[in-house]
Amino acid sequence: MTLQASEQAAYYYEAQRQARDVRTISCGNRELRLGEKTLVMGILNVTPDSFSDGGQFDTLEAAVHRAHDMVEEGADWIDVGGESTRPGAKEVSLEEELSRVIPVIRALVESGLPVPISVDTYKSEVARQAIEAGAHVLNDIWGGIREPELLRVAAANDCPVILTHNREVAVYTDFIEDVCSDLQHMAEAAIDAGVNSNQIWLDPGIGFAKSREQNLLLMNHLTRITSLGYPVLLATSRKSMIWRTLDLPVDQISAGTAATLVYGIMQGCAAVRVHEVGEMCKAVRMADAMLAAAALTDRDSERTR
C-alpha cells in the first residue's frame, strides 16, 4: 500500500469512527439508533413506472406484504415512494401521488409495522398528509429546494428530514466543493425553517444532476459530506452509475450495488437505501464487522503503548 493509499484508508476509518458515536433519533413513536450498526432503508416503490421495480408492489396488499418481508430481511426502516425519480420520468399530480402513498402508509401502520416509515416526496402536502397517516420521516430528493414548505412541515411535526443533493441545472464550478456547499446551505435552510439540527440527514444525491463520472468522483469524496456533521444516507441501489459502468441490465448489478455500499460505509455513511434488502444486508453487516475489528485492534494497540 502506498503512503497516499494508507493515508486515505486512515481518513476513511476516522470518518467512520466519528460516525459511530451512538445516539437516538426520535421518529414519533419510533426511533432510529445511530452508531450501533449501519442502518438499512428498504425501498417500497408504489409506482407503476419505477425504473427498477415498476408495478411490482403497487397494490395495497402486495405493498404491505413486501414491507414486512423487508423488515424480516433486516430493514431498519421502510421508504414509501409514489413518484418515480428515474431520469425522464413524468411528474405525477399531487392527487395521484396522494392516492398512491397515503393508503399504503395507513395500511403499514395498521399492520403493526415495527420500524419507522419514511415518505419519499418533495411535495409539502404529501409530506403533511403522510405524517398524519403515520409516517415518521420525510425523504426529499430536492432537499427543500422545490417546496421549502416541506421543511416547515418537518419542523412543525419534529420529524427527521433527509435532504438530498440535487440541482435544477447541473452546472458546477468546483464539483465536490459545490456539492458540499449546496448540502450545507440545505441544512442551514432547514434549521432556519425550524428543523432541529439533530433531525437532519444528508444524502449526496448519487444519480441526481450528475454525470456518471461525477457520481464516481463523488463516491471517492464521501468523507467530505460525512464530515459536515450530519448523518449521511447513501442511496446508490440500482443507479445508472453502476449499470453503465458494468454495462449490465439493472437487474444484474447487485454486486456492483454492494460494492458502493461498503465503500460508502467505510467513509462514514450512517445508513444505506436499498431494493434488495436481504442481499445488501449481508454486505452491510460484513462492512460493519470489519470496522468493528479495526476499532478493537486500535484499542488494543493503544493499551499496549
Residue 233, phi then psi, degrees to nearest 5: -100, 130
Q: How many domains does the chain have?
A: 1
Mean pLDDT, range 164-192, rounded to an integer: 97
pLDDT confidence tier of residue 22, bands split at 50, 70 and 90: confident
Per-residue pLDDT tens over the stretch 210-265: 999 999 999 999 999 999 999 999 999 999 999 999 999 988 999 999 999 999 99
Q: What is the mean pLDDT of residues 178-197?
A: 98
Q: Dihedral of CA 293/43/228/179: which sign?
A: positive
Domain holding 243, by residue range, is: 3-303
| Catalytic residue numbers, as ranges | 239, 273
Q: Are strands 30-34 and 23-27 parallel, antiparallel or unpaired?
A: antiparallel
**Which CATH number fits the domain that encloses residue 136?**
3.20.20.20
pTM equals 0.88
- Predicted confidence (pLDDT) per residue in 57-73, tens digit: 558 898 999 999 999 99
pLDDT at site 255: 96
* Mean pLDDT, range 187-216, rounded to an integer: 97
Coarse DSSP helix, strand, coil percentages of the chain, rounded to the nearest 5 percent: 50, 15, 35
pLDDT tens digit string along 119-139? 999 999 999 999 999 999 999
